[in-house]
Structure 1
């Protein structure tokens, strides 16, 4: 076993002149990146970074982010991604809970952070920091330069995932699984030193590690596009213009682009949510297509398929080398081939647990009765079955956790935030496909006595606490929640969210309203459109929002994804456009 810093330095010595990072029109060689990461690592050490300490990286997708990860590893510390697009309440909670020794950001990204955070900031593009970098050597750090020697048992990173109690929880991952993950991905994806790997994932999503390791342990180039959502025409343009040869995408994003238009793409890994057979039919004739599976608690990936072919039954493949998989019944006994049970994973790649949460860690990381004493296995909450050939079929969740566009969402966290609204007596969230072809998060609310919260009120309340992907798209008010015989909420009996009928839709008056009505009519064919029409109630998703934004740009109207979420009606969007003129 080895550490992230050692994996990187081994590659940098072997391919010093190869392009390592392509970003913002700049090409940085492995030698360039190593020099920058070494200098930053020395500054981080001076600021208190070291083994078992966290360095926050409040940075968008950028070369700064990649170099920050490598610098933290070289300093012996663990990196903590902090998404600056998250609501201030969530950012504050993560930083307070994780307690990093400092928070690396940039002058621009720092403006999106809450004003008061319990960690000193370091602006990576600030003049004082740039002067400090010039004053330290760019050579690799030795143990004497750090607070102590590197060890694979030390923390490598902490990533916060949705928590069922209403608060996100930090998954604390060591270096022990990184070398195995890197070797498995490079081999299966067939990454070569001349490859170009797309950096697609948000740094707050652990697929980010797959992209970094696949590129930066093989001598390949990591292509880092500007921050922002990548889907549809935007994603296709990045893949084509940067001649991307290897990409890791959630199935939802992969289905928004056309493989025939991407002659340079050689390998596509889909991960983060169930892979539909239609995706295999669409992509397998054109690329090496792999399906990967794994929770954050298992160092990104636990199982992966070989190359998929049209007509194949879609599985999640076999365990990666060094990973053990058990499919067990309620008594923790192995189920026979073909029968469904809960999927457990074991091996050295298991995370240490949840940061500062020993009870939750003990609940999910349990003793492994199938291996040596003292070893653990992680109960994923996923349902699976063995095929006779040793491949694994995925059958969904056994609890209230869902996957939406690759993001893991604990419905309990969504419900807990909904329940904090003063007009909400009870709340349930679920994933539905009633409006539009893509799954949407729906909220069912029993109002407090004498109140009637509007969808706009509830959406605004949710956006103050949750990232965009966790904010329900549609809201339904109920007199009471349906219950099963055992007294629990009967989710299967929840009605399709009905949209509030409008006696007459007001027609557009301004040029902006008229242009937006035309765009809505194109996106939601057959729907009656007026200025009160709501993007999400019509079936809009964050993926469809990208198409909307692009069409609006063609009409001379500029919007961000956040604009659409905060102002989902045509009337409100037209006002936003007017304010930007």
Structure 2
């Protein structure tokens, strides 16, 4: 069992698993197959090195590396040293990473040589895992579990376990400070609901910068299962299909958008699929429920990953977000913090041991979102999620969207205010308003409407380049239509409904494709964006392209003899630029 009634820290949960499954396979990654004992030995050696750099209770260690065996081992090493880990995604803009490191003040950054070259200069010491320097002596360090005396202090469930940065409405990301207290309950709930066993193979899909990463680790390790870690930076479509098949994955947690790129009949070994991160559409249930044990999960980072989960979904039943997992309480409240009747819509508030401490260095924001629990006399807190829900008579919760300007797009949590704040920093932009509009594929497209400053005319390419300096790829708008002014509702706020009604699809009028590369990519665009007017100047993102569709472009380009990377699609979104990039990469 993952939880024997005693609060366990992350390193205690892991070491408990090692004692029970010492010689079983723990990690399958990058051609390596590692047992629980082998992973534990590596983590112990690295933990001692990190401790020498000051890692310990209530201190933060930044981890700047991609999805890999080294990332998993490093998370365990940080936990063994008693510290908290901070994932720093190297695909994020340098300014965003620099802000995270300055804000969280880690004692050390654990990375690789490639990662070190991409990191902004912050003055924080580096431990480079594949370097010949200090990290090169890891093999000489003891591989046994650390004793309490080797840490700078005792570690309890109340200590900080990790810091995850999420989108912030003021224009800067905020660090959610999460303790160990909810981890054992999370592990127990996931293993039970997903039916993970020793012979299971769990996919490591989530970016380490998102807390779903912890769900994957805990659900695999506390059951003695194997964690399958693909090396591809982006998993969708054929790349995700290959990862599932090559890894013989039996259990996976995926956003519905990624699931929509797959066909259930292709995965006879997949036993349990959990969808999370965004609303689960009924047609996905109709396709997948007959083939796998399909569950729907919900939970914000502030509540230790997961708050509610369904049983197996059925095409005949309406889709809900389920009921609270053990140790979590969910209240549907009105504006006065009073429970609303069953069936009526209110705001979802979470309680329980898994609530985060709050936002790192943001006491005012913490006080706004973490409020006194009116149903407790013991000084407990509730987290105000900003999500709307209603409770059915059977206790299942139905999700009804947001009360504010936060959105979920392809599984990513985005504050529209942060996108708008970044755009208004551009000298040619006076005001900005972002919306998510549906695209032809049934997904969403982030569009920001801008009011130019002082008669200027900023181009979409200029604004996109500016946005990419400050925002991660999933938050960079696809289109930048200019308006003389923003429409307002009667209460004086931006009328986002009016913005959604505006036509923003670009119109063709430029030259047709000329080179063989242009003609090949032009054909791909015609197939992906059926019915859209397209010329060589057409922009992938303005047409409705997404990170998942970018994988499709890359795979189809390969069939045409052209080599493209995800970065080349982002950097060169027009047909003309993509064709030139393909020639230079070939």
TM-score (norm: length of structure 2): 0.97
Q: 1:321 aligns to what? A: 326
Q: What is the CA–CA distance in structure 2 between the aligned matches of 1:511 and 1:179, rounded to whole Å?
A: 57
Tell me, yes or no, if the aligned pair for 1:173 and 1:352 is still in contact at 8 Å: yes
In the alignment of these two chains, the number of paired residues is 579
SS where residue 351 of structure 1 aligns?
coil
Q: 1:295 aligns to what? A: 300
Matched, 1:70 2:76: yes
Q: 1:158 aligns to what? A: 163
Q: 1:11 aligns to what? A: 17
Matched, 1:23 2:23: no
Q: 1:545 aligns to what? A: 550
1:526 deviates by: 2.6
Determine which of 505, 527, 531 is the counterpart of 2:536.
531
Tell me, yes or no, if the aligned pair for 1:106 and 1:125 is still in contact at 8 Å: yes
Q: What is the CA–CA distance in structure 1 between the aligned matches of 2:250 and 2:258, rounded to whole Å?
A: 17
Post-superposition CA distance 1:185-222 (Å, at most 9, x none): 00000000110000000011111010000001110000
Tell me, yes or no, if the aligned pair for 1:283 and 1:289 is still in contact at 8 Å: yes
Q: What is the CA–CA distance in structure 1 between the aligned matches of 2:478 and 2:420, rounded to whole Å?
A: 14
Q: What is the CA–CA distance in structure 2 between the aligned matches of 1:362 and 1:572, rounded to whole Å?
A: 48
Tell me, yes or no, if the aligned pair for 1:327 and 1:334 is still in contact at 8 Å: yes
Q: What is the CA–CA distance in structure 2 between the aligned matches of 1:533 and 1:113, rounded to whole Å?
A: 33
Q: 2:582 aligns to what? A: 577
Determine which of 101, 104, 107 is the counterpart of 1:101.
107
TM-score (norm: length of structure 1): 0.98
* Root-mean-square deviation (Å): 1.1
Tell me, yes or no, if the aligned pair for 1:95 and 1:118 is still in contact at 8 Å: no
Tell me, yes or no, if the aligned pair for 1:435 and 1:538 is still in contact at 8 Å: no
Runs of 4+ in structure 1 off by over 6 angstroms are: none
* Residue correspondence of structure 1 range 32-47 to structure 2 within 5 A: 32-47=38-53
Q: What is the CA–CA distance in structure 2 between the aligned matches of 1:58 and 1:217, rounded to whole Å?
A: 25
Q: What is the CA–CA distance in structure 2 between the aligned matches of 1:132 and 1:225, rounded to whole Å?
A: 27
Post-superposition CA distance 1:15-69 (Å, at most 9, x none): 0110000001110000000000000001111110000000100010000100000
Matched, 1:113 2:119: yes
Gaps of 5+ in 1: none
Matched, 1:363 2:368: yes
SS where residue 230 of structure 1 aligns?
coil
Tell me, yes or no, if the aligned pair for 2:507 and 2:533 is still in contact at 8 Å: no
Q: What is the CA–CA distance in structure 2 between the aligned matches of 1:49 and 1:71, rounded to whole Å?
A: 10
Matched, 1:194 2:199: yes
Determine which of 540, 563, 566 is the counterpart of 1:561.
566
Gaps of 5+ in 2: 1-6
Matched, 1:183 2:183: no
Q: What is the CA–CA distance in structure 2 between the aligned matches of 1:213 and 1:436, rounded to whole Å?
A: 34
Matched, 1:251 2:262: no
Matched, 1:427 2:432: yes
1:435 deviates by: 5.5
Q: What is the CA–CA distance in structure 2 between the aligned matches of 1:482 and 1:77, rounded to whole Å?
A: 49
* Residue correspondence of structure 1 range 171-250 to structure 2 within 5 A: 171-250=176-255
Moved more, 328-337 or 129-138: 129-138
Q: 2:3 aligns to what? A: none
SS where residue 464 of structure 1 aligns?
helix
Tell me, yes or no, if the aligned pair for 2:331 and 2:339 is still in contact at 8 Å: yes
Tell me, yes or no, if the aligned pair for 2:17 and 2:224 is still in contact at 8 Å: yes
Q: What is the CA–CA distance in structure 2 between the aligned matches of 1:87 and 1:560, rounded to whole Å?
A: 18
* Residue correspondence of structure 1 range 332-351 to structure 2 within 5 A: 332-351=337-356
Q: 1:491 aligns to what? A: 496
